Amino acid sequence: MIAAEDLIALVRNYNPKTNLDRLADAYEFGKEMHEGQYRHSGEPYFSHPVAVAAILTEQRLDDATIITALLHDTIEDTKASYGEVSKRFGEEVAVLVDGVTKLTNLQLSSRETKQAENFRKLFMAMSKDLRVILVKLADRLHNMRTIKAMKPEKQAQKARETMDIYAPLAGRMGMQWMREELEDLAFRVLNPEGRQSIIRRFITLQRETGDVIHRITGDMRHELEKAGIEAEVFGRAKKPYSIWRKMQEKDQGFSRLSDIYGFRVITGTEEDCYRALGAIHQRWRAVPGRFKDYISQPKTNGYRSIHTTVSGRDGKRVEVQIRTRQMHDVAETGVAAHWSYRDGVRSENPFAVDPAKWIANLTEQFDSEEDHEDFLEAVKLEMYSDQVFCFSPKGDVVKLPRGATPIDYAYAIHTRIGSACVGAKVDGIRVPLWTRLKNGQSVEIITAEGQTPQVSWLEIATTGKARTAIRRALREADRERFIKLGHELARSAFEHVGRKATDKALDTAAKHLRLKGRNELLARLGSAELTGHDVVQAVYPDLAPDQTDQIPLRRAVIGLQPGQSFERATCCEPLPGERIVGITYRGKGVVVHTIDCDMLSRYEDQPDRWVDLHWHTGTHPAAYATTLDLTIGNDAGVLGRICTLIGEKKANISDLVFVDRKPDFYRLMINVELRDVEQLHSLMLMLEAESHVAAVERYREKPAAAAAVS
């Protein structure tokens, strides 16, 4: 554990005017409050707050933030109170500590609607003082660095939460180094074999090619010196997770990836950035479409840099980032640069963004969202987005995420423009609405009175704002149809548990689910935004079939080792009664596949991971999700009839998604919960006999679509 004097020395390195006595007092108070508490590793618990504080000193943060780190668990885990912290260290620190405590208590990895509510709370906490999330990110980083002491299932939960929420949030805040480390630490837990594979290939590559980074760095320095440009040049191999993600996105093997090395050029002035770019492009060939100028068009978190990719030695592509020292400080610390100190005074960095304006810009578009799912999707899309910059016919700049289309552009201008869009011109040429926009293009939207959003737009739009507006417009247009369908689904779902879908029951469910009323509930049920199971559970949370004679889910499979858990593979969704085999995963237990699953071919050369399994004989509960791919006639009452037939077979519909809508036929995926394979066959035979059902089959994922499972 870092001693008090060593921690204070870290702060004094960048802030000689720090209040030494206040820091020492906070250290002693935290140590006293956590006395007798220990971490899973057996270390004194106070070693954790100290490590969090040390991480924050790397970002040169102010005294209040460092003290908050030292005390961030005191109000929650010790006898210390808000009043005591406020009296001893001031109201500012007490508010920050309380904010971190509230964030810690958010269960961010729960089910979707709850997760969306927690995201709202997270943004509210950030809007009050962004330093709260800075402490929380440092807290998560240290916990991930020491995660091996936790139980495997807890490790997996924390790693997924980190990958889904904290890593992209750090990236969105401009703290790219933290995002990369969080992703890599989570990757180590979630896919240790994949990570080790990347590292082994790197070692082999270095053995074959030598120190490529050293050679290219030397070449760049030589070219810059020839051009009379003073600059620092740094090179590095990209993180294992970054490379893994590229392999997944491009569907390429490691040997075919080219840009696995990154280089940074740090200059003295903005002018030298562009001179350095010229020198590099003169020496090496630039890769088309890989140039971005974030200096002239900075990101909303203050990030400025020139990005280019060039073909280096032996045709290898390398990514180069060029920026000034002040730009680099913001690139390393993001919005945290606002609080950074240098030589005892707050750094006057012209590129550091105002945190209040930044968080206001991030949350502005989500404030009006009432729909939990839409809000969550919009947040995730925004946090993961990179940006392109387009121009309006008047020359105004419109910022959009990478991969945005004219539909996204239209909605970015105004919802009314988006809804009335009938076409677009890019650089004066008419283009399809699914065209991907590029940096620097001029976009003109063509509108027509009476036009309304189309279902196909949901597949075209990429921004949360556009998709939310389209979904809302479609919901309103189809409201009556969805309400009728919702009535049928509700009736079937309630009959499945021996109840009736009365108006009172539906009103109660709507109130419990925080919806405006019965019709809103039915419309969402009919549009597959809610399931019949959700509605029934809202009214009868404890209602379930008698399972006294049924086999518990945890004991459904025979052949596992003591304490070993299992889960069904999503690619083949095995059911009781089918021949099965298990594939072991470190930290994940056993994944169960049907014996004829196409995905098993991936593991033919890994026989040590195969486990011989079979289902427990007896009666299983109707709790095994299976997806049916149906094509049905587009006639009145057909879908209601299908839902009734499924209900008559004692199968619960847990989800329903329209895949394709034609004038005469609908194709949809219905997720049903079944007991066993016999019930599946019986259900499919009955559906095949229905005159309005053109085709029905059990849906199985193809190997390419399920590649991420491994």
pLDDT at residue 104 is higher than 80: no
- For residues 331 and 469, membership in a common domain is answered with no
- For residues 416 and 468, membership in a common domain is answered with yes
Asked which of 190, 221, 246 is the last residue of a domain, the reply is 190
CB of 163 within 8 A of CB of 147?
no
pLDDT at residue 105 is higher than 90: no
Structure tokens at 290: 């890989």
Domain membership flag for residue 18:
yes
Domain membership flag for residue 291:
yes
Query: 3-state class of 261 per DSSP?
Result: strand
- For residues 456 and 388, membership in a common domain is answered with yes
Domain membership flag for residue 247:
yes
Among 291-300, 366-375, 442-451, 529-538, which is the least confidently predicted range? Answer: 366-375
- For residues 297 and 439, membership in a common domain is answered with no
Domain membership flag for residue 73:
yes
Domain membership flag for residue 633:
no
pLDDT at residue 8 is higher than 60: yes
State the Cα–Cα distance between residues 40 and 151, nearest whole angstrom: 9
CB of 615 within 8 A of CB of 576?
yes
CATH classification of the domain holding 441:
3.10.20.30
- For residues 342 and 459, membership in a common domain is answered with no
pLDDT at residue 705 is higher than 60: no
Kindly state the percentage of the chain with pLDDT values over 90: 16
Q: Which of 131-140, 202-211, 299-308 has the highest mean pLDDT?
A: 131-140
Task: Determine the average pLDDT of the residues in 471-489.
Answer: 79
Question: What's the pLDDT at 303?
Answer: 79
CATH classification of the domain holding 176:
1.10.3210.10
Domain that holds residue 290: 193-346
Query: 3-state class of 425 per DSSP?
Result: strand
Domain membership flag for residue 245:
yes
pLDDT in tens, 224-260: 999 999 999 988 877 888 778 767 665 555 545 556 7
State the Cα–Cα distance between residues 618 and 550, nearest whole angstrom: 7
pTM to 2 decimals? 0.52
Q: From the candidates 76, 92, 373, 690, which is the catalytic residue?
A: 76
Distance, C-alpha 52 to centroid of its chain: 24
- For residues 327 and 398, membership in a common domain is answered with no
- For residues 376 and 313, membership in a common domain is answered with no
Query: 3-state class of 678 per DSSP?
Result: helix
How would residue 651 be classed by pLDDT, with cut points 50, 70 and 90?
confident
pLDDT at residue 331 is higher than 90: no
Q: Which residues of 508-522 are buried (b: 16+ CB within 10 A; e: fewer)?
A: bbbeebebeebbbbb
How would residue 168 be classed by pLDDT, with cut points 50, 70 and 90?
confident
Distance, C-alpha 649 to centroid of its chain: 38
Domain membership flag for residue 462:
yes
76 in catalytic set: yes
- For residues 298 and 280, membership in a common domain is answered with yes
CATH classification of the domain holding 227:
3.30.460.10
State the Cα–Cα distance between residues 147 and 143, nearest whole angstrom: 6
Question: What's the pLDDT at 547?
Answer: 45
Query: 3-state class of 186 per DSSP?
Result: helix
pLDDT at residue 120 is higher than 70: no
Q: From the candidates 43, 58, 77, 219, which is the catalytic residue?
A: 77
Nearest to 468 by CA among 412, 386, 423, 519: 412
pLDDT in tens, 498-527: 888 899 889 988 888 888 889 888 888 877
Task: Determine the average pLDDT of the residues in 547-555.
Answer: 70
Among 118-132, 243-257, 568-582, which is the least confidently predicted range? Answer: 243-257
Nearest to 698 by CA among 679, 684, 678, 682: 684
**Average per-residue pLDDT for the chain:** 80
Distance, C-alpha 611 to centroid of its chain: 32
pLDDT at residue 377 is higher than 60: no
pLDDT at residue 273 is higher than 90: yes
Question: What's the pLDDT at 592?
Answer: 93
Number of domains in the chain: 4
- Name the more confident of 209 and 328: 328
CB of 499 within 8 A of CB of 650?
no
Nearest to 339 by CA among 73, 86, 56: 56
Residue 676, judged by CB atoms within 10 A of its CB (0-12, 13-18, 19+), counts as: middle
Question: What's the pLDDT at 405?
Answer: 92
How would residue 274 be classed by pLDDT, with cut points 50, 70 and 90?
very high
Question: What's the pLDDT at 641?
Answer: 82
CB of 139 within 8 A of CB of 100?
yes
CB under 8 Å to 457, separation ≥6 — which residues? 407, 433, 466, 470
Query: 3-state class of 208 per DSSP?
Result: helix
Q: What is the dihedral of CA 439, 294, 261, 141, to 10 degrees?
A: -120
- For residues 219 and 293, membership in a common domain is answered with yes
- For residues 244 and 388, membership in a common domain is answered with no
Question: What's the pLDDT at 124?
Answer: 62
Domain membership flag for residue 641:
no
Q: What is the DSSP letter of 536?
A: H
The CB-side HSE value for 438 (13 A sphere, CA atoms) comes to: 7
- For residues 50 and 170, membership in a common domain is answered with yes
pLDDT at residue 50 is higher than 80: yes
- For residues 161 and 57, membership in a common domain is answered with yes
77 in catalytic set: yes
Q: Which residue has the tokens 């559906």?
A: 687
Question: What's the pLDDT at 588?
Answer: 66
